[in-house]
């Protein structure tokens, strides 16, 4: 189980990856292609070419964790294919993993209070 905190950095590799890749290969991809530290505590999300599978790589403080999910009858909603990364919020990742269209999520703007009370 991945605890998805609201302050967690969630980075999606915008291009599909070969899903035969394991933890070490994905960690190398994070370092070399995404130019990020795979041991930073961020979640790194990877998509398959068929769009029905997702892998998430994370460092939990004691080791690398690889989460894998396959949708049985539908596809995940992914950002357009391009180079680089796309940043998601915790809410958007939760919707994506549930197989829902996270791109229709419209965050409610909340004005910061000037004082308590």
pLDDT in tens, 90-106: 888 888 888 888 777 77
Is residue 1 over pLDDT 60?
A: no
Give the model's pLDDT for residue 92. Answer: 86
Helices (H) and strands (E) in the chain, counts: 2, 5
Give tens-digit pLDDT for 15-41: 999 999 999 999 999 999 899 999 999
What is the Cα–Cα distance from 88 to 103, expressed in whole angstroms? 10
């Amino acid at each position: 189980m991945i605890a998805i905190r609201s302050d967690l950095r969630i980075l999606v590799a915008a291009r599909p990856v070969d899903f035969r890749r394991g933890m070490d290969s994905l960690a190398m991809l994070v370092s070399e292609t995404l130019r990020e530290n795979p041991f930073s505590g961020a979640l790194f999300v990877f998509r398959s070419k068929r769009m029905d599978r997702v892998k998430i790589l994370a460092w939990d403080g004691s080791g690398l964790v690889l989460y894998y999910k396959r949708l049985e009858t539908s596809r995940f909603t992914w950002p357009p294919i391009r180079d680089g990364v796309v940043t998601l919020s915790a809410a958007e990742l939760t919707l994506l993993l549930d197989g829902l269209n996270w791109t229709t999520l419209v965050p409610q703007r909340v004005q910061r209070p000037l004082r308590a009370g």
